[in-house]
Structure 1
Amino acid sequence: MITASNTEALHPITILLVAQHSEHFRELQAITATWANKPRLLWTPVPTQATQLALMHRIDLALLDTDLQDAGSHSLERLISRCIPTAAVCTFQERFGPGVSPIVAGQLYWDEMPLILRGWMTQQQQPTPFGEQANASVFEKAA
């Protein structure tokens, strides 16, 4: 019989962080260290590598930096959403600093990551009817 804990053992929650700065990964590690079910954490500063990691590890959540080089966060967001429709995708930007673009609808700030992750994890733990996917309402409320 497959239980929730067996399912998690077969497929632990996988979070992919695509950001230039490793401090965001250290923050992600600190946030998830207190979780009862430890997620698999992946990090890359290279957007072209992110798609490969996302597909190879069957990610559940992608956290993207708006400052990504090459492919850019918007094209990467579209690509991940198309290739892995069950994955949630959040795009973050810095709140203050030189060269920071004005607020863009639908983007979050890095300092909101703990709140967003807590809401997302709570939503993941909610039982859903067989075959039904959790929606992105947590992200809509936070944005």
Structure 2
Amino acid sequence: MSPLQPLVFFSGSLLSTQSGSNPQWFLENTPIPGANQLTYLPIASGNYKVQISDVNGCTAISDPFPVTITATEEEIVKGDLRVFPNPTQNSITVKCDSQSPLKNGLATIYSLSGAPIASQKLVAKNQAYEAEFDVSKLNSGTFVVRIVSENNVKVIPFVKQ
């Protein structure tokens, strides 16, 4: 007997499911590496599913849950926004080459499960706004940087080797 089909919920910016063990998230029927928590922070538009299992190893998969990411870089900041180097081993820099002041800019690193790892304010430096993060102690995998400035948001993935 298979477990009950999991339901997918969307709250804030996270997808979640409430039951089951060994969750695995999928985007367009392809497993997302490292996405094996009850929550997931989507970084691309598409149809998401979650597969769970019960104590006997039987699995069930949710119906597709459509997610549309609507923000574009132009809506976020007036300038070039980058996260580098990507992939990285030790550190990343979040940089916005902006012609105008970037008010209240904040960069936060998240795991793919949506757990915040570190946050820093973007500070003015050489006609740009920057934040530098030491990621040397993170496990290898994919993470995202979420950059917020006033009411605008941009999410950029990066790979820690």
Both proteins in one fold, TM over 0.5: no
TM-score, normalised with respect to structure 1 = 0.24
**Would you tell me which structure has more strand in proportion to its own residues?**
2
TM-score, normalised with respect to structure 2 = 0.22
Larger-Rg structure: 2
**Would you tell me which structure has more helix in proportion to its own residues?**
1
